[in-house]
């Protein structure tokens, strides 16, 4: 079996949490096939004539300005979008020399060579895959490899995305009764209020994290059903602290190693509280994984990358921001600037880059980022 078929079969066997992961998988596979690190996969809306920035390769993430909510009209795109205009693959091995005649969108990584491949479905260009900055020049053979791979993968991708959407719909049907939703939220809020009797800060923190998580989910385009799950997950993410002694939670000064180890088990304790509850959302995972980090540096399990669910990645970003920007009874907060610096420094390594960018977009849109 050749390399293309190997990658196609691997894609066929894989499952994804959300659409972006499927796009990312295909992009990274195409990069492997042509021996390149830098690339992107963007959707194209022929009716609006707009390119929507969708995913960057992992090597590009630290270099690009933003991954979220960027749309570019084809009329204002530079030669990097020639493949859409010409409806064929295009190579620019002299890209750096063409920059005076070209434009790059804000946040686009700098290029010295470039190859772009249009993805055509039913006669229409629906996406563009771009590759750049390979040490050796791009060739027509590279174009044919990616064209063949994208042709094989696109029908599979359509099925994968349909499966993701269908799963969302199925889960939404499990809890479509408005009265049941109100009852569930009321029960959760009662539980949070009960925990507030011993730890006011944590209860307020959970409410704020819930609000931030829903805002991030909105920016990412999640469904109303998924946003409702995020609302609940945010409200209960720290519920395991109910089992931690109050004198440790409110201690001034640095915690002793044994005390810190006890605090670090609160995600496990919280997950156990809800482990018996069957819901159409990954509530247990949200609670258990909100301190996990993509590079494996988090706790309690040291999970990495796709082992961490999307909702937990969202809550992690909301949690870090609120924890660092809000004063606690026993210490002053490092501040909003420190919180933003932490998220920026960990973007793409500790924290999901697309989640961080969505949160930054929300802050700017609501005049909260300074």
> Which residues have C-beta within 8 Å of that of residue 206, sequence separation ≥ 6?
192, 234, 235, 236, 237, 238, 239
Q: Which of 52, 49, 50, 54 is nearest to 39 (CA)?
A: 54
Tally helices (H) and strands (E) across the chain. Answer: 15, 6
What structural domains and CATH numbers belong to the chain? 3-166 (3.30.450.40), 176-365 (1.10.3210.10)
Q: Angle at which helices 310-325 and 336-345 pack, to 10 degrees?
A: 150
Query: Contact at 8 Å (CB) between 289 and 308?
Result: yes
Spatial contact of 349 and 295, defined as CB atoms under 8 Å apart:
yes
d(CA 60, CA 72): 19
pLDDT average per 10 residues of sequence, the chain (370 residues): 88 86 93 94 87 84 68 73 90 76 57 90 90 94 95 90 80 58 66 62 83 94 88 89 79 80 89 82 93 95 93 96 78 81 94 93 76
Distance CA 29, CA 37 (A): 10
DSSP assignment letter at 43? E
- Rounded CA-CA distance 276/86 in Å is 57
Q: Are 226 and 239 in contact, with CB atoms under 8 Å apart?
A: no
Bridge-based pairing state of the strands 50-56 and 38-45: antiparallel
For position 346, what pLDDT does the model report?
Answer: 94
Question: What is the structure's pLDDT at 370?
Answer: 47
Looking at residue 110, its pLDDT comes to 73
Following DSSP, what letter does each residue of 50-90 receive, concatenated? EEEEEEE-TTTTTT-S--SS-EEEGGG--GGGHHHHHTS-E
Q: Give the pair of three-digit tokens for residue 268.
A: 């496990």
- Residue 189: per-residue pLDDT: 67
Q: How many whole angstroms separate alpha carbon 280 and alpha carbon 181?
A: 12
- In 3D space, the residue among 156, 145, 94 whose CA is nearest the CA of residue 121 turns out to be 156
The pairing of beta strand 90-92 with beta strand 71-73: unpaired
Widest CA span of the chain, in angstroms? 68
For residues 43 and 126, the answer to whether their CB atoms sit within 8 Å is yes
pLDDT of residue 108: 59
């Amino acid at each position: 079996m050749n390399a293309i078929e190997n990658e196609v079969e691997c894609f066929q066997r894989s499952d994804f949490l959300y659409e972006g992961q499927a796009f990312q998988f295909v992009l990274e596979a195409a990069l492997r096939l042509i021996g390149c690190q830098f690339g992107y996969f963007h959707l194209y809306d022929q009716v609006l004539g707009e390119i929507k920035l969708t995913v960057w390769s992992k090597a590009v993430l630290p270099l690009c300005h933003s991954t979220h909510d960027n749309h570019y009209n084809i009329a204002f795109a530079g030669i990097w979008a020639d493949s859409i205009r010409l409806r064929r693959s295009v190579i620019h091995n002299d890209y750096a020399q063409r920059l005076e005649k070209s434009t790059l969108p804000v946040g686009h990584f700098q290029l010295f060579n470039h190859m772009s491949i249009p993805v055509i479905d039913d006669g229409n260009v629906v996406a563009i895959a771009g590759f750049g900055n390979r040490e050796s020049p791009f060739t027509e053979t590279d174009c044919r490899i990616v064209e063949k791979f994208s042709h094989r993968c696109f029908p599979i991708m359509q099925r994968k995305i349909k499966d993701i959407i269908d799963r969302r719909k199925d889960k939404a049907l499990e809890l479509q009764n408005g009265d049941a939703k109100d009852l569930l939220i009321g029960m959760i809020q009662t539980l949070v209020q009960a925990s507030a009797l011993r730890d006011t800060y944590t209860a307020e923190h959970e409410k704020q994290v819930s609000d931030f998580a829903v805002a991030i989910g909105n920016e990412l385009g999640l469904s109303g059903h998924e946003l409702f799950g995020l609302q609940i997950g945010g409200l209960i993410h720290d519920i395991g602290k109910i089992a931690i002694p109050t004198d440790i939670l409110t201690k001034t000064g640095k915690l002793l190693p044994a005390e810190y180890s006890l605090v670090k088990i609160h995600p496990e304790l919280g997950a156990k509280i809800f482990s018996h509850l069957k819901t159409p959302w990954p509530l247990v995972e949200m609670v258990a994984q909100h301190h996990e980090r993509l590079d494996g540096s988090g706790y309690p399990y040291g999970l990495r990358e796709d082992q961490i669910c999307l909702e937990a990645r969202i809550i992690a970003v909301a949690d870090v921001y609120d924890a660092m920007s809000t004063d606690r009874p026993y210490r002053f907060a490092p501040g909003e600037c420190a919180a933003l610096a932490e998220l920026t420094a960990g973007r793409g390594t500790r924290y999901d880059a697309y989640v961080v960018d969505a949160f930054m977009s929300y802050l700017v849109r609501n005049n909260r980022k300074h």
